[in-house]
Amino acid sequence: MNEATLILIKPDGLKKSLTGNILTRLSETKLEIMAAKIVKVDKGLATEHYKHLKDKPFFNELIDYICGEKHNRKKVMALVYWGENATTKCRQLAGATNPEEAEPTSIRGSYGRITTSGLYENVIHVSSNKDEAEREIKLWFTPAEVIVDLYPVKESTVNSCTHVVWA
Ligand code: UDP
Ligand code: MG
């Protein structure tokens, strides 16, 4: 079944100059890129993205990490990949959440690390499933930034200006 998934190259991936390398690895999947941009992540976006982890002891450090505070690189590359079993394929290439447990040739196994405080700096985010992918893609991208119609949209008029937004 064709589906979309959200990929983020996290600030450590950008700081370690891994962008080209990670995109090359992802191209092995033969999935299509339907959206891509560099984002300066603010606390609001970070907190919404990781809201399922808000009770975890590492939450504040995770927010600092994705905002680029820990790497002095305040940017993330966000992409939408689309195609058959996109989430499963990308998560397999990414490897396990814990880089020590990730398959050594996976992206996280190759480039991730665990900080002395215990946070997993694992260079890449991939949505966990179809519903999470939809929530995350709608959070990170506007309809106009995605070159295919993934989800229903509606028109919204603010100060006589009409925009297309997620329905
Ligand atoms: N994370 C961590 N310690 C944990 C679990 C998660 O540092 O015990 C961090 C890690 O960077 C991970 C992110 O929180 O990628 C989001 O966690 P999630 O459980 O969603 O894992 P993922 O879907 O990224 O594999
Ligand atoms: Mg996750």
Domain assignments of the chain as residue spans, ordered by start: 2-145
Sequential pLDDT tens for the chain (167 residues): 999 999 999 999 999 999 999 999 999 999 999 999 999 999 999 999 999 999 999 999 999 999 999 999 999 999 999 999 999 999 999 999 999 999 999 999 999 999 999 999 999 999 999 999 999 999 999 999 999 999 999 999 999 999 999 99
Place of tokens 């509606």: 154
| Residues 14, 75 contacting (CB under 8 angstroms) | yes
Q: Which CATH architecture has domain 2-145?
A: 2-Layer Sandwich (3.30)
Among 120, 127, 136, which is best to mutate for testing ligand 1, by the most ligand atoms less than 8 A from CB?
120
Q: What whole-number distance in Å separates Cα of residue 20 and Cα of residue 111?
A: 13
Given 49, 71, 125, 163, the catalytic residue: 125
Helical spans, DSSP H, in 16-156:
19-27, 43-49, 59-66, 86-94, 107-111, 130-140
Atom of ligand 1 nearest to the CA of 96: 25
Q: Which ligand sits nearest to residue 100's alpha carbon?
A: 1
CA–CA gap between residue 167 and residue 140 (Å, rounded):
15
